[in-house]
A = this chain, B = another copy of it.
Amino acid sequence: MRRETPVARIRLVLSPEVAIGPGKVNLLEGIRETGSISAAGRRMGMSYKRAWMLVDTMNGDFSKPLVKAIKGGKAGGGAALTALGKDVLERYRRIEQATAQAAAGDLAALNRSRRKPSKT
Are A62 and B15 interface neighbours, CB within 8 A? no
Query: Smallest CB-CB separation from A13: which chain B residue?
Result: B7
Find A102's partner among B4, B13, B18, B98 (CB 8 Å cutoff): B98
Could you tell me how many residues of chain A have their Cβ less than 8 Å away from some Cβ of chain B?
Answer: 43
Within 8 A of B (CB), among A80-117: 84, 87-88, 91-92, 94-95, 98-99, 102-103, 106-107, 109-111, 113-117
Are A115 and B63 interface neighbours, CB within 8 A? yes
Q: Which residues of A contact B (CB under 8 A)?
A: 2-4, 6-18, 20, 60-64, 84, 87-88, 91-92, 94-95, 98-99, 102-103, 106-107, 109-111, 113-117
